[in-house]
Chain A
Amino acid sequence: MFDKFTLRALPDEDEAMRGPLRALIAARIANLPADRRARSWLGFDRDLSLALGRAGYLGLTLPRRYGGQEKSAYARFVVAEELLSVGAPVAAHWIADRQSAQLILHFGTEAQREAYLPGICRGEIYFCIGMSEPGSGSDLASVRTRAERSGDGWRLNGQKIWTTFAQHDDYMIALVRTSGGAADRQQGLSQFIIDLKAPGVTVRPIVDLTGDAHFAEVFFEDVALPAEALIGQEGAGWAQVTAELAFERSGPERIFSSIVLLDTWIAHVREVRAKDVAATALIGRLCAELATLRAMSLAVTAQLVEGESPVIEASLVKDLGTGFEQSIPALIADDLGSHPDETVSPELARTLAFVTQIAPSYSLRGGTREILRGIIARGLGLR
């Protein structure tokens, strides 16, 4: 049943993007210490996103008429890999480029495509994901934020939470109830594109355990939404959000979150105890896992290229990938802790401290481990 997991190779033309892209990224991150780069898709840098847009690295799979590059998902894989593997601060454009643009392309009207896609491709307009609410995490169908018809448009009331970078972004694509009640579950849900500058929208950043503030809570009080804020079909929100999550979960981002820490630590080992057997084995273990997970992620990308929606496969890679990402700080902490008299650079110490604290979030964001395993179990025919 997992026949799709076979060895794949990237097309040469996509591989060829690496050189010039690497040069662009290197120039932008030259002054960022490892502990800043470790934030990766939690690092917000408008200038980097604009530069990537100008150079044609965003909207890679979108049609040219909307400013895209009409390349395959392999091209996005290469670009994501180059950005994430060095910890480039990609948060500004990340969600728009990864999933909002796909959603708008597939479910939006022509006017919506023209309104948003070119700006996304230029790295100018940024989106956030309005799924979670205080009472709705894993049980997403229980959302209570509600849009009611009002004149030609809609009136929105409710609250979203944990919305990554709502405080800096321009728009949210939100899943809200448009008819029925909680008992109707997946029925009666719709998605809207919400202008976060609209009257009645309040965004309050939430400080996380590391002291950063990347996510936020977003309140809607009688927000007037025009008719064209509805994206896709009224009542089809659940099917659309499921398609959106497939884009969210299927990219290579689920293996690289701790890679800056890994490389910083390997540099340390190489310098202070290159002959250490336990550290050498640990380096080998993590590189072997990385190579294997990367091959798996590439196989999922191949499915995207072939027009499939690899929901189960993506869940499988995400669960394994986040487990790998989470193991890295724990294993490295033990390695360094096993040598209490060794000097560790403040940069490595800060990077390890940051990744250790933030790592539990890797298997929460984008769907928890238990939910993903439930999807796999369904694929196995158990539910």
Chain B
Amino acid sequence: MAWGFADMDDITFLEPFERLLKDLSSPRQVRAIEAGEDGHALWSGIAESGFLDALMPEASGGAGLALRDVGLLVEALGRYLTPFPVAETMVARALLAQEGMAMPDGAILLAAMSGDVARNVPLALVARHALIDTGSAIVLQEIDRDALPRPSVHGGLAADIRLADPILTLPRPLQGLRAMQAVLDAAKMAGVAARLLEMTVAYANERVQFGKPIGKQQAIQQQLAIMAEKTVMMRMAARIGTGCAEWPSLAAAATAKSVTSAAAVDVAAIAHAVHGAIGISEEHDLQLYTRRLQEWRVANGSEGYWQRQLGDIRLAHDASSSAAFARAIPPTA
């Protein structure tokens, strides 16, 4: 079944998308895929829904949506821990369709590399193809799952991707794949953080010590207030990235990724602190969320990388006022 996006606003199609993820991307199903199951039900559910073609031009059979229309979907992919590069595949299919290329089956990763390896690419183990930005062109290559190294983190699905024989070559979008991927990571991290905040507040209201819920302790309340602040900041930063109509500007991507990456560390730390020992167990779902924050924080450039990018842009900018500079970063409607 495919939804007709064209006459829906982003909120209307968010709901069926979230329902789909709720049904097929539950923590239990996510764990199974992380343990090596192929996740056929989830992937085919997503593929059949038509969402993978959301960004493809209508002329090629897509929904012709812009990045800013799907930002909330990407946040939902984070929130539901979806262990497939769904947003990446949406972008890749749109790029391929624009050039009139044949569409490969399965999940497609995005990766950027200046040498011949992209380090620790999230979800590499579940993707069939990778669209790689070499700095001068975009190439599509197959991923040989069996040849990939084992992930360095327990439960992880990331791996180094090496440049291989290209299936085809595309022109490079102006800002490159890294800016786009950084924005997608930022939105997914914002989605994870929002879910973590809910879980952590609920736990604080539930867990009793000293005869009352720990959430009644002022020290815990202050920590959760900080967590809420950082979570909202991540969401706002992510939307500065996903709010772009087409390809994110470098400055918007740098803002989105540097702010979300930096805040992700604090959000993960507070979530763990409030959960106590139970959150350190494999069995508790907390680790599924915090592991992703840690992974995506460094993927495609951590805060340090993107802060340097934005600093370079600021120094090259002739305006003497940081207020005017900052004002021009978010996309305008």
Contact = CB atoms under 8 A, between A and B. Distances in A.
- State yes or no: do A and B come from one complex: yes
Interface of A: 2, 5-7, 9, 81, 85-86, 256, 259, 262-263, 266-267, 269-270, 274, 277, 279-296, 299, 316, 319-320, 370, 372-374, 376-377, 379-383
Nearest to A1: B228
Q: Shortest 10 CB-CB distances between A and B: which pairs? A: A284-B311, A85-B323, A284-B310, A280-B311, A377-B221, A373-B225, A284-B307, A376-B225, A283-B311, A291-B326
B224 A284 contact: no
Contact of A296 (B226, B232, B303, B322): B232
A87 B50 CA distance: 52
Interface stretch (B157-165, B276-284, B291-299, B313-321): B313-321
Contacts of A284: 254, 258, 306-314
Given A284-B306, A374-B221, A266 B314 contact: yes
A285 B258 contact: yes
A357 B222 CA distance: 26
Interface string B321-333: 1111111011111
A231 B262 CA distance: 46
9 contacts: A5-B236, A279-B311, A281-B307, A284-B312, A284-B313, A288-B307, A292-B237, A299-B236, A382-B215
Contacts, number: 160
Given A274-B315, A287-B326, A380 B236 contact: no
Interface string B207-237: 0000000011010111011101101110111
**Most chain A CB inside 10 Å of its own CB: which residue of B228, B312, B323:** B323
Contact of B315 (A270, A285, A286): A270
Given A2-B228, A285-B303, A292 B240 contact: yes
Nearest to A280: B311
B135 interface: no
Contacts of B205: 381-382
B330 A291 contact: yes
B236 A296 contact: yes
Interface in B223-269: 224-226, 228-229, 231-233, 235-237, 239-240, 243, 254-255, 258-259, 262
Q: Is the interface of B mostly helix, strand, loop or mixed?
A: helix
A159 B86 CA distance: 63
Given A284-B258, A288-B307, A262 B322 contact: yes
Nearest to A370: B222
Contact of B320 (A263, A291, A377): A263
Contacts of A296: 232-233, 236
The listed residue with most B CB atoms (<10 A of its CB), out of A7, A270, A294, is: A7
B59 to A, nearest CB: 29
B109 interface: no
A7 B310 contact: no
A125 B306 CA distance: 47
A291 B240 CA distance: 9
Given A319-B225, A377-B222, A291 B255 contact: yes
A149 B259 CA distance: 55
B232 A2 contact: yes
B201 A295 contact: no
A280 B308 contact: yes
Nearest to A82: B323
Given A284-B314, A316-B232, A376-B228, A256 B308 contact: no
B171 interface: no
A270 to B, nearest CB: 6
B332 A9 contact: yes
A320 B233 contact: yes
B327 A294 contact: yes
Given A288-B259, A290-B322, A382-B224, A2 B309 contact: no
A64 to B, nearest CB: 29
Given A274-B315, A283-B311, A259 B222 contact: no
Given A85-B323, A294-B326, A383-B216, 17 more contacts: A2-B228, A5-B236, A6-B239, A7-B239, A7-B240, A7-B330, A9-B333, A85-B321, A86-B321, A256-B323, A263-B321, A266-B314, A267-B320, A280-B308, A285-B303, A377-B222, A382-B201
Contacts of B235: 2, 5
